[in-house]
A = this chain, B = another copy of it.
């Protein structure tokens, strides 16, 4: 006989992302018993598998029969259930690790075991978004000690997968905060791997930006590689440029970062833990970290960048990771393209050392590659940049890049969206300031990164002397609908470029 708290699953195809959600009719006994307080959470079990889900209530009876419930897509996947399976619902006890979060709110310092318990609960999906928000807020500002950041990093590492490499030295690079078009990674990997260092680069897809390195690379090659495929490519070519999603290096961070971005709360501690934990989990030993500084970049002042560098270096020491932090100019987009295919076009131009290649993208890439070469101690301090340039200009880097792409599964030129609108200057003058955030927003509304060919082609860097009617940038899209949506936003905006 069915129990009062057993109901049949009927999938409705509702994707709520990582917060599991359960849909129940308002007349079902469990629903009545639990009450419905917007944030009611229930345990849902199937066999030995169990998840915690937030309750949404159906006030009509046409979606579910009285003996049915539904779950969000990800909950269905995690439980491994299908239509008709009988799920058991039960009440949940308060989550123990939330008392550590409360202690943190009250200003106490947390210990290693506290962070371990919190991060384990986050990975298990036991925290609702509001609880993630409370943890993030409690740790925000400069509210974490160096030791706390080390504990958080270690907890993130132990709760995820870890990669191992036969090489003693494994290199990586990371850029803090999005600068549109700043696609140095593929170029740096190609140079460094061509030199002979091991650089198994796994990159993320965009979360709130118009393109992540993985999105950009996907317009050229295959990035969705299994761990064994990654090892094969690196064994053959010294490096790879793959999507990190097939390996779960820090599943806790993946959940935290989405809430952090939604809140737009800066948290040095969580930023440092996020970056360094993923590097260590990926098996890296030597990492160059790029912090672009600019009024519309993630880090806005030189002083904030220096403080971030200082704390990041202390945490890296505590974790036994060798890092070099470089602070760079983040006042404007890098290269000309913003969006996967447009950025891919730029990086290929640099790798081919084409005369029209964006020189800023080339210089930044050489600078970072040089730092990595020096970090290996195989190249003397001060000569890394020149070594990197030699490798690039000789064609060795391009050859290596194509080799990596072919090893990953193929190489093709990127294809740019054919629906296009040019945006022209409404007055003459010098471009003095660029709002990176709003430019990125336009590229996204035009469809980037989901539509690989969508984005912005940008022609007016700071200092450009423009005339009325001159093209400042072009918006590309893969459909008229997306182009229209981006233009609708643009209509409501002023001074994305300041011309004086």
Q: Digitize A317-345: 1 where CB-to-B-CB distance is under 8 Å, 0 elsewhere.
A: 00000000000000000000000000000
* Complex CA distance for A441 and B94, rounded to whole angstroms: 12
Q: Are A38 and B17 in contact (CB under 8 A)?
A: yes
* Segment at the B interface, from A357-365, A380-388, A484-492: A484-492
CB < 8 Å neighbour of A485 from B30, B263, B479: B30
A70 CB to nearest chain B CB (Å): 10
Q: Digitize A7-49: 1 where CB-to-B-CB distance is under 8 Å, 0 elsewhere.
A: 0000111111111000100100110111111110100000000
* Complex CA distance for A274 and B105, rounded to whole angstroms: 20
With A137-B133, A208-B37 known as contacts, the answer to whether A73 contacts B59 (CB < 8 A) is yes
Q: Digitize A84-105: 1 where CB-to-B-CB distance is under 8 Å, 0 elsewhere.
A: 0000001100100010001001
* Segment at the B interface, from A174-182, A254-262, A371-379, A402-410: A254-262
Q: Are B102 and A265 in contact (CB under 8 A)?
A: yes
Cβ of A264 under 8 Å from chain B: yes
* Complex CA distance for A496 and B449, rounded to whole angstroms: 55
* Segment at the B interface, from A124-132, A158-166, A240-248: A124-132
Cβ of A60 under 8 Å from chain B: yes
Give the residue name and chain of the B residue nearest to A489 (CB). Answer: B91
CB < 8 Å neighbour of A134 from B4, B59, B136: B136
* Complex CA distance for A39 and B19, rounded to whole angstroms: 10
Q: Are B15 and A56 in contact (CB under 8 A)?
A: yes
* Complex CA distance for A141 and B143, rounded to whole angstroms: 14
Cβ of A444 under 8 Å from chain B: yes
Cβ of A196 under 8 Å from chain B: no
Q: Are B32 and A482 in contact (CB under 8 A)?
A: yes
Kindly identify, within residues 193 to 223 of chain A, every residue whose CB is under 8 Å from any CB belonging to chain B: 206-208
With A4-B481, A59-B73 known as contacts, the answer to whether A34 contacts B207 (CB < 8 A) is no
* Complex CA distance for A16 and B55, rounded to whole angstroms: 8
Q: Are B56 and A16 in contact (CB under 8 A)?
A: yes
In the complex, chain B residues whose CB is within 8 Å of the CB of A39:
17, 129, 258-259, 261-262
In the complex, chain B residues whose CB is within 8 Å of the CB of A62:
13
Q: List 10 A-B contacts (CB under 8 A).
A: A4-B485, A17-B37, A32-B447, A33-B445, A33-B482, A59-B73, A94-B264, A134-B263, A134-B265, A137-B138
